[in-house]
């Protein structure tokens, strides 16, 4: 595939989306960031405002949308991405995965552009297969508290495949696992929550016994994987995540240690349908994209803590 010339990034004001915008601009591409800032933040892209290759369109992708000028890549990253946001914006979460996916696929179709859907490890639900391969169909509760996100992403994948089969659109699907790093808010996701609680010297809340596992992948590695897929012609889903599996209790300990906090742990009720184990099989990404994570969790955590400290100092300054 040729180098990306002009990319549309939906959800470009979000955590991962803003880092994608940075990396594309660094590569020489032009970027059209589309965001309604329902969960993303202007502060994530304000440093790009004067960049000659950057355009910001404040719009809701669940409504009909087109982008003037040439487009060679559409990256659909827009969506709420944490349990509190699903509870606050359930209908919006479903719509961005359904109508939003349809509308962004139509943009790619009109411009004959490569289309990449940002899907999620949540399509596997509380998995009965471990580690999770892309061929696993998942174990999802369609009416549980995570269902609006899980099912929206599963629907989005089906819609993306349907456009490829019906119209011959050049599509790809990336399933993202537990990404973390700078610009991530303490919005219910485990790592920024633990860091924020440690910085505030309040108890770190462990939901359930803490033995459930996650596989944290630093955002720079996640973005490299997304863009590697975008620059390929691979159509089938590809897992992008870290194979280092860590318990939630250990994540809390490491976050507290990285902050230098004496905060105690406090166990609270487990979240309903919280996956017990989460670790990707990344054989496809390694063999077909030459991708694997490079940033250790210790280094990624150090960088994330530093960024959250700096952000707090900026707010208080």
CATH, residue 38: 3.40.50.720
What's the mean per-residue pLDDT of the chain?
94
What proportion of the chain, given as a percentage, has pLDDT over 70?
Answer: 98
Which domain range does residue 39 map to? 6-185+217-242+275-295
d(CA 314, CA 206): 29
Specify the number of domains making up the chain: 1
Decide if 190 is inside a domain: no
Decide if 288 is inside a domain: yes
Residue 311 — very low, low, confident or very high, per pLDDT cuts 50/70/90? confident
What proportion of the chain, given as a percentage, has pLDDT over 90?
Answer: 86
What pLDDT, on the 0 to 100 scale, is given for residue 195? 94
What pLDDT, on the 0 to 100 scale, is given for residue 6? 97
**pLDDT value at 212 more than 80:** yes
d(CA 304, CA 258): 10
Decide if 172 is inside a domain: yes
**pLDDT value at 315 more than 90:** no
Residue 194, token pair as written in the block: 């633990």
Decide if 314 is inside a domain: no
pLDDT in tens, 214-226: 899 999 999 999 9
The CB density around residue 281, as the number of other CB atoms within 10 Å, is 18
Decide if 134 is inside a domain: yes
Q: What is the DSSP string of the chain?
A: -PPP-EEEEETTTSHHHHHHHHHHHHTT-EEEEEE--SSS-GGGTGGGTT-TTEEEEE--TTS-----S--SEEEE--S--SHHHHHHSHHHHHHHHTHHHHHHHHHHHHHT-EEEEEEEGGGGBS-SSSSBPTT---B--TTSTTHHHHHHHHHHHHHHHHHHHHH---EEEEEE--EE-TT---SS-HHHHHHHHHHTT--EEEETTS--EE--EEHHHHHHHHHHHHTS---S-EEES----EEHHHHHHHHHHHHT--PPEEEEPPPTT--S---B--HHHHHHH-----S-HHHHHHHHHHHHHHHHHHHH-
What pLDDT, on the 0 to 100 scale, is given for residue 312? 84
Cis peptide, bond prior to residue 131, ω within 30 of zero: yes
Q: Which residues are catalytic?
A: 149
Decide if 261 is inside a domain: no
**Chain-centre distance for alpha carbon 267:** 27
**pLDDT value at 207 more than 50:** yes
What pLDDT, on the 0 to 100 scale, is given for residue 271? 78
Choice between 125 and 315, residue whose per-residue pLDDT is larger = 125
Mean pLDDT lowest for which of 3-7, 70-74, 76-80?
A: 3-7
**pLDDT value at 96 more than 90:** yes
- Rounded to 5 degrees, what are φ and ψ at 262? -110, 15
pLDDT in tens, 124-170: 999 999 999 999 999 999 999 899 999 999 999 999 999 999 999 99
Q: Contact at 8 Å (CB) between 41 and 13?
A: yes
d(CA 9, CA 78): 8
Decide if 70 is inside a domain: yes
Residue 298, token pair as written in the block: 């210790």
Instruction: State whether the Cα torsion 197-199-203-208 is positive or negative.
Output: positive
**pLDDT value at 1 more than 60:** no
d(CA 9, CA 17): 7
**pLDDT value at 36 more than 70:** yes
pLDDT in tens, 241-296: 999 999 999 999 999 999 999 999 999 988 777 778 889 999 999 999 999 999 99
Decide if 204 is inside a domain: no
């Amino acid at each position: 595939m040729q180098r990306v010339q002009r990319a549309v990034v939906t959800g470009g004001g979000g955590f991962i989306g803003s880092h994608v915008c940075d990396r594309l601009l660094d590569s020489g591409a032009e970027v059209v960031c589309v965001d309604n800032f329902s969960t993303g933040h202007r502060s994530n892209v304000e440093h790009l405002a004067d960049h000659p290759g950057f355009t910001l369109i404040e719009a809701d992708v669940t409504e009909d949308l087109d982008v003037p000028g040439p487009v060679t890549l559409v990256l659909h990253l827009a969506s709420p991405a944490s349990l509190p946001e699903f509870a606050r914006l359930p209908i919006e979460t479903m719509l961005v995965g359904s109508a939003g996916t349809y509308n962004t696929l139509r943009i790619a179709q009109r411009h004959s552009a490569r289309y990449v859907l940002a899907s999620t490890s949540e399509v596997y639900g509380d998995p009965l297969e471990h580690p999770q391969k892309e061929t696993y169909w998942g174990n999802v509760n369609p009416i549980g508290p995570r269902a609006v996100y899980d099912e929206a992403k599963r629907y989005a994948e089906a819609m993306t495949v349907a456009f490829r089969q019906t119209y011959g659109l050049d599509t790809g699907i990336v399933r993202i696992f537990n990404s973390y790093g700078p610009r991530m808010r303490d919005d219910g996701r485990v790592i920024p929550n633990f860091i924020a609680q440690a910085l505030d010297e309040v108890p770190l809340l462990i939901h359930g016994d803490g033995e459930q596992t996650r596989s944290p992948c630093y955002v720079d590695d996640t973005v490299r994987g997304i863009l590697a897929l975008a620059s390929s012609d691979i159509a089938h889903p590809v897992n992008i995540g870290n194979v280092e599996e860590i318990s939630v209790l250990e994540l809390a300990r490491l976050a507290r240690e990285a902050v230098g906090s004496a905060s105690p742990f406090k166990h609270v009720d487990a979240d309903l349908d919280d996956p017990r184990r989460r670790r990707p099989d990344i054989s496809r990404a390694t063999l077909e994209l030459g991708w694997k994570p490079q940033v250790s969790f210790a280094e990624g955590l150090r960088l994330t803590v530093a960024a959250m400290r700096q952000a707090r100092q900026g707010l208080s300054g």
